[in-house]
Structure 1
Amino acid sequence: MSMNPARHWLLCIAAIIWCALPGTADAKAARVLVFSHSTGYRHASIEAGVAALKALGERRGMSVVASEDPAMFDGDRLKDFDAIVLLSNTTKRDEPASEWWIGKRREALQAFVRRGGGIVGIHAAADSHYSWPWYGRMIGGWFTSHPKGTPTGLVTVTDRSHPANKGPASPVRRADEWYYFEDFDPTVQTLTTLDPASIGEKDVNPNPTSWSHEFEGARVFYTAMGHSPESFSEPWLLQHLEGGLTWVLHGRRVK
């Protein structure tokens, strides 16, 4: 029995719409670049962080590419990525020559942000490119100092509605290298704070330890946590990072 021509075309149109919907079988997986080039202090946690992010990508159906090659910041090489994770990508504060985002590379990162690509900054992503004001505004602030060692502190979740904070309720006690910041943007959405008294500091005001904001068309999530290799085996911090990455991706192309 032949099919009515009108019904045939309706079925064809429905099939096209179905294939275009997010989450359908032929939807492309999100592609994430984990970039950890460092010319300043080299964090021993980088390798553990890369491994954890690759495992997260495999579990969530994302394609994760790790690189330390600044030449990745070329318009053509970035065009297929949906998000960039900046993993402790340090430079030297007083040595502009240690900075690799210059010229066309700066333009490539800015173009990526302005087309809506997501940015995740981890720990020493805030200890980088002090000679480029735009970078500090994108991250939301610059590292300025930290107390000695990696004391155990009390972290409070300040916004339970954010995907980065869907894990166990706060407060959370954990060890890390706790950053203080300069040129901190007060308009960002603070997600977690540290109680300075919990690590023996005299400050009375909570210190921001992670935040998010929208910047020039992109979503940016930053956490100051993640100094030690052990950080990337902590369920709470891993969930925090996963939620932050999901948020900057707008939930698209992720299982």
Structure 2
Amino acid sequence: MFFSLPRFAYKGWLLSFFVLALSATTVQKSYATGFDTLPKKQFNVLLFTKTAGWHHKSQTEGVKALERLADKHFFNIIWHEESHYFNDDYLKNVDVVVFLSTTGDILNPKEQAALERFVKAGKGFVGIHSASDTEYDWPWYQRLVGRTFSIHPVIQTAVLSKLPNNNFIGLNHMPQEMLWTDEWYEFGPELTKLNYLLTVDEQTYNPTADWGNNKTGSGMGVFHPISWYHNYDGGRSFYTALGHTNAVYNSEFLTEHIYGGIYWAATGKGLKSNN
């Protein structure tokens, strides 16, 4: 005897099947991306953009810019916003972790410990823009970045300068001085010895900021660092405060500056001899 479902039951069954199939596909996609599935290239970069505070709209343009860098310079990049990828098994195939405009408390204690082991194993970290506005209650991370974000004024044009006699190859394409429009971060004190790359001239913009509730800023004075690098706890760390707006990610000055940091953090190479 032929059995047939009522039309409404058939449609409901079909819809349930479709939802289950879609869910299975989504789960598979969410967990299937690993560097062991990709062709071998010069190094592997994990790009992380999770936010638990302010969300920068420019993150999307930043991701696109780093993906273009990966194509141009032949390295693998995988982008995640899920913190569970910070575990020893996943990170064993990663050479550099990039925090792009992250904010707030984004890793739990187990994930924090995995990142610490990753760096101590001789791997690299790159922080872009509000990576310094991240994990305020984790002293190890604050030292990894090097300085902590404090406040910023409105977006303005200012004179950005390379520090003389630095040997970091990621700046060789930049002029000694240039006009740049960005969000100029004011930082707290140096938390470990840093090698500085870029500064901004506070005489060329207004550094004062007033966010209310006694949250004010007046700049950092004659020396206002914007980018730096250092060896830290067995690994390598690079940071740049540039990267607030969508437009700056179309600039080769910024993207090659970031690539210089990624390249050094991944390989330890790229420092020119001063001799």
Q: TM-score, normalised by structure 2?
A: 0.76
Amino acid at match of 2:159: L
- Rounded Cα–Cα distance in structure 2 between residues aligned with 1:27 and 1:106: 28
Q: TM-score, normalised by structure 1?
A: 0.82
Aligned to 1:30: 43
Deviations 1:152-194 (A, max 9, x none): 0111101542022111322011100000111323620010000
- Rounded Cα–Cα distance in structure 2 between residues aligned with 1:28 and 1:60: 9
- Rounded Cα–Cα distance in structure 2 between residues aligned with 1:59 and 1:251: 20
Q: 2:143, 2:192 within 8 Å by CA — same for their partners in 1?
A: no
When the two structures are aligned, how many residues end up with a matched partner?
219
CA positional deviation for 1:242: 1.1
Aligned to 1:122: 128
Deviations 1:11-64 (A, max 9, x none): xxxxxxxxxxxxxxx964311001000010000110111111011011111001
Match among 90, 96, 103 for residue 103 of structure 2: 90
| 1:226-237 alignment runs, 5 A limit | 226-237=243-254
Aligned to 2:79: 66
Amino acid at match of 2:95: D
Q: 2:133, 2:148 within 8 Å by CA — same for their partners in 1?
A: yes
Higher mean alpha-carbon deviation, 183-192 vs 240-249, is at: 183-192
Structure 1 residue runs of 4+, over 4 Å off? none
Higher mean alpha-carbon deviation, 132-141 vs 186-195, is at: 186-195
Give the match's secondary structure for 1:249: helix
Aligned to 1:181: 187
Amino acid at match of 2:161: T
- Rounded Cα–Cα distance in structure 2 between residues aligned with 1:168 and 1:183: 27
Q: 2:236, 2:268 within 8 Å by CA — same for their partners in 1?
A: no
CA positional deviation for 1:206: 2.4
Deviations 1:103-144 (A, max 9, x none): 210111001100111111000000011011111000001100
- Rounded Cα–Cα distance in structure 2 between residues aligned with 1:171 and 1:186: 27
Q: Does 1:156 align with 2:157?
A: no
Give the match's secondary structure for 2:267: coil
Aligned to 1:208: 225
Q: 1:73, 1:108 within 8 Å by CA — same for their partners in 2?
A: yes
Q: 1:160, 1:166 within 8 Å by CA — same for their partners in 2?
A: no
Q: Does 1:225 align with 2:231?
A: no
- Rounded Cα–Cα distance in structure 2 between residues aligned with 1:122 and 1:48: 13
- Rounded Cα–Cα distance in structure 1 between residues aligned with 2:259 and 2:139: 28
Aligned to 1:199: 205
Q: 2:132, 2:145 within 8 Å by CA — same for their partners in 1?
A: yes
Q: Which runs of 5+ in 2 are unaligned?
A: 1-38, 208-217, 270-275
Match among 240, 250, 261 for residue 244 of structure 1: 261
Q: Does 1:168 align with 2:174?
A: yes
Aligned to 1:17: none
Specify whether residues 38 and 27 from structure 1 end up closer, same or farther in structure 2 by C-alpha distance, changes over 3 A only: closer
Identity of aligned residues (%): 33
CA radius of gyration, larger in: 2
CA positional deviation for 1:200: 2.6
Superposed CA RMSD in Å reads 1.7
Q: Does 1:106 align with 2:103?
A: no
Higher mean alpha-carbon deviation, 202-211 vs 224-233, is at: 202-211
Higher mean alpha-carbon deviation, 99-108 vs 190-199, is at: 99-108
- Rounded Cα–Cα distance in structure 1 between residues aligned with 2:74 and 2:158: 34
